[in-house]
């Protein structure tokens, strides 16, 4: 009897022990799985952080070099003229802008070269297009090159081209030669670039051109591809008459979701919200500004690059206005300045060393002169001219406009957005009228004829200027 009892006890104990072991094993397995999952996630995060770090380093190097270049040029400009600044404005940026020739075929913007991330190296001609999601898209480094110019980097490059220029391979690997890591190389590059720009002033801002295809016609595009994620970004290069957007490349997210693009809608909202009746000195408006500014900074990974000044924006005339207007705003409203993009810009600007500051000051002074001259000529100012109620303020320069559309169009001056592209060439314009006027270049239509000679002109203004030849009126020298 006792024997049987012991046997039963033993069997029960065994069952219990097995159950306990099984339980323990299950727990261990579960924990192990969780542990593995956590490790995997940690590794993912590490990778993302590493990428981010690399990207930051890339940007930093590019920025520093560009700033060094700019500094030297500023010094040089003291002994020459402001034109030099204009001439080299492309370099003044933290990175090289997309430079597009005005009608010259020496370089086409369908020849971009994208450099995949992870290189850890940098060149001056690097354009870093930072994706909004670093992990998913990673940085894309873009090099500028001119036709016939061989650019090389020591990193694996993925160059994707416009199918029209590379019909055989939509995505081809291209050998690129680094122009150089020295300042001289940059100067050379810029010189070349200027030549390539054809009109010089036409440094088409740069950029990332997101595109809204209105007509939906199939058009050649170039792809910015990313090695890791395989994300493909379609950048408009559509020679057709599409609705294209050019954006300042700086740290603009590559994502084409323009809704989140602080350069556009959000800021227009801002502009609409800051529909002050007067100057921004009013407290309430300042508060609004602060809120909006904070919002902009928080909503987007976009950071105002110190080098992303408007010198490089490609709008020769607009540039001057921008800085001075910014400056005015900064001078008249410290609160705004504290949170304004430009202030952020300057804060982040390593140029803010004593010497560099004076250089920046010099730049401001120079552009102020031009700005003042133009303002006088036009009898308008940022918030002056009360002939009409201008409730809509440009968030970049504080200039007032009578409608949200006006300010939206105006802000393209700052953002570089050029929605209207020519079907015949690669020119892009900020306004439809500009495109229409430009089309006469291709059609040869010259509706404006001189009554005193047989000359005709495509533009009324040119006819008017021409007629001074007959009247003897001297053309104002610039």
Partner DNA sequence: CTGGGGATGGGGCCC
Partner DNA sequence: AGGGCCCCATCCCCA
Q: Are 249 and 207 in contact (CB under 8 A)?
A: yes
Q: Does 43 bind DNA (CB under 7 A)?
A: no
Q: In whole angstroms, what is the distance from residue 196 CA to residue 190 CA?
A: 9
Q: Does 204 bind DNA (CB under 7 A)?
A: yes
* Nearer to DNA among residue 60 and residue 83 (C-beta): 83
Segment contacting DNA (CB under 7 A): 23-31, 82-90, 117-125, 334-342? 82-90
- Spatial CB neighbours of 320, under 8 Å, sequence gap ≥ 6: 367, 368, 370, 371, 374
CB atoms within 10 A of CB 334: 10
> C-alpha 74: how far from its chain's center?
23
* Nearer to DNA among residue 205 and residue 255 (C-beta): 205
376: left (phi over 0), alpha (psi -120 to 50) or beta: alpha
* Nearer to DNA among residue 118 and residue 314 (C-beta): 314
HSE on the CB side for 6, CA within 13 Å?
A: 3
Using alpha carbons, select from 414, 416, 314 the residue that is nearest to residue 101: 314
Segment contacting DNA (CB under 7 A): 42-50, 70-78, 120-128, 312-320? 312-320
Given 68, 171, 174, 201, the residue binding DNA (CB under 7 A): 201
Give the shortest CB-369-to-DNA separation in angstroms: 10
Given 270, 305, 413, 426, the residue binding DNA (CB under 7 A): 413
Q: Does 63 bind DNA (CB under 7 A)?
A: no
Q: Does 326 bind DNA (CB under 7 A)?
A: no
Within 457-476, which residues bind DNA (CB under 7 A)? 457-462, 464-466, 468-469, 474-476
Q: 407 in helix, strand or coil?
A: helix
Q: In whole angstroms, what is the distance from residue 304 CA to residue 307 CA?
A: 8
Q: Which helix (H) or strand (E) holds 172?
A: strand 171-172
Q: Does 86 bind DNA (CB under 7 A)?
A: yes
Please name the residue that has the structure tokens 């009013």: 282
- Spatial CB neighbours of 326, under 8 Å, sequence gap ≥ 6: 340, 342, 396, 397
Within 359-398, which residues bind DNA (CB under 7 A)? 370, 373-374, 377-378, 380, 385, 387-388
Q: Does 348 bind DNA (CB under 7 A)?
A: no
Q: Are 456 and 445 in contact (CB under 8 A)?
A: no
x/- letters, 95..114, toward DNA (CB under 7 A): -------xx-----------
Query: How many helices (H) does the chain have, and how many strands (E)?
Result: 14, 15
- Spatial CB neighbours of 252, under 8 Å, sequence gap ≥ 6: 129, 130, 207, 208, 261, 263, 302
Give the shortest CB-289-to-DNA separation in angstroms: 20
End-to-end CA distance of the chain: 122
Given 43, 317, 352, 452, the residue binding DNA (CB under 7 A): 317
Given 240, 260, 404, 423, the residue binding DNA (CB under 7 A): 404
* Nearer to DNA among residue 52 and residue 446 (C-beta): 446
Give the shortest CB-258-to-DNA separation in angstroms: 17
Residue 445: both structure tokens together: 């239509």
Given 40, 43, 402, 449, the residue binding DNA (CB under 7 A): 402
Q: Does 436 bind DNA (CB under 7 A)?
A: yes
Q: Does 217 bind DNA (CB under 7 A)?
A: no
Give the shortest CB-237-to-DNA separation in angstroms: 17
Q: What's the CA dihedral at 349, 265, 113, 314 to 10 degrees?
A: -60
Give the shortest CB-448-to-DNA separation in angstroms: 9
* Nearer to DNA among residue 171 and residue 440 (C-beta): 440
Q: Does 430 bind DNA (CB under 7 A)?
A: yes
Q: In whole angstroms, what is the distance from residue 292 CA to residue 281 CA?
A: 16
Q: Does 311 bind DNA (CB under 7 A)?
A: no
Residue 251: both structure tokens together: 């740290």
Q: Does 443 bind DNA (CB under 7 A)?
A: no
Q: Does 115 bind DNA (CB under 7 A)?
A: no
Q: Are 116 and 336 in contact (CB under 8 A)?
A: no
* Nearer to DNA among residue 119 and residue 340 (C-beta): 340
Given 16, 19, 433, 452, the residue binding DNA (CB under 7 A): 433
Residue ranges binding DNA (CB under 7 A): 83, 86-87, 102-103, 198-202, 204, 314-318, 321, 370, 373-374, 377-378, 380, 385, 387-388, 399, 401-406, 410, 412-413, 418, 427, 429-434, 436-438, 440-441, 446, 455, 457-462, 464-466, 468-469, 474-478
């Amino acid at each position: 009897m006792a024997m049987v009892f012991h046997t039963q006890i033993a069997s029960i104990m065994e069952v219990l022990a097995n159950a306990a072991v099984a339980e323990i094993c299950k727990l261990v397995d579960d924990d192990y799985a969780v542990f593995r999952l956590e490790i995997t996630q940690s590794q993912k995060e590490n990778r993302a952080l590493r990428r981010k770090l690399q990207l930051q380093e890339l940007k930093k190097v590019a920025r520093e070099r560009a700033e060094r270049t700019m500094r030297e040029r500023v010094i040089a400009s003291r002994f020459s003229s402001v034109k030099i600044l204009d001439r080299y404005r492309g370099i003044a940026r933290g990175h090289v802008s997309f430079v597009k020739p005005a009608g010259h075929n020496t370089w086409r913007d369908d020849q971009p070269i994208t450099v995949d991330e992870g290189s850890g190296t940098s060149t001056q001609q690097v354009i870093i297009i930072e994706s909004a999601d670093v992990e998913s898209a990673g940085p894309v480094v873009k090099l500028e090159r001119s036709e016939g110019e061989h650019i090389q980097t020591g990193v694996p490059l993925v160059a994707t081209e416009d199918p029209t220029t590379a019909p055989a391979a939509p995505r081809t690997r291209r050998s690129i030669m680094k122009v150089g890591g020295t300042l001289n190389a940059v100067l050379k590059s810029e010189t070349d670039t200027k030549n390539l720009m054809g009109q010089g002033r036409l440094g088409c801002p740069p950029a990332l051109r997101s595109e809204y295809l209105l007509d939906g016609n199939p058009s050649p595009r170039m792809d910015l591809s990313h090695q890791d994620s395989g994300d493909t970004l379609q950048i408009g290069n559509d020679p057709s008459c599409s609705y294209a957007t050019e954006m300042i490349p700086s740290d603009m997210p590559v994502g084409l979701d323009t809704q989140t693009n602080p350069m556009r809608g959000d800021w227009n909202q801002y502009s609409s919200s800051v529909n002050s009746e007067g100057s921004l000195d009013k407290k309430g408006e300042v508060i609004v500004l602060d809120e909006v500014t904070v919002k902009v900074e928080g909503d987007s990974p976009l950071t105002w690059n110190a080098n992303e000044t408007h010198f490089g924006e490609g709008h020769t005339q607009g540039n001057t206005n921008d800085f001075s207007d910014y400056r005015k705003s900064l001078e008249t409203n410290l609160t705004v300045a504290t949170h304004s993009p430009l202030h952020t810009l300057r804060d982040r600007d390593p140029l803010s060393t004593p010497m560099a500051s004076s250089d920046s000051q010099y730049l401001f002074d120079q552009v102020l002169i031009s700005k003042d001259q133009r303002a006088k000529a036009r009898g308008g100012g940022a918030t002056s001219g009360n002939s009409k109620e201008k409730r809509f303020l440009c968030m970049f320069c504080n200039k007032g406009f009578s409608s949200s559309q006006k300010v939206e169009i105006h802000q393209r001056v700052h953002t570089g957005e050029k929605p209207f592209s020519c079907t015949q060439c690669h020119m892009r314009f900020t306004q439809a009228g500009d495109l229409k006027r430009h089309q006469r270049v291709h059609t040869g239509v010259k509706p404006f004829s001189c009554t005193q000679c047989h000359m005709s002109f495509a533009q009324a203004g040119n006819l008017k200027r021409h007629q001074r030849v007959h009247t003897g009126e001297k053309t104002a020298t610039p």
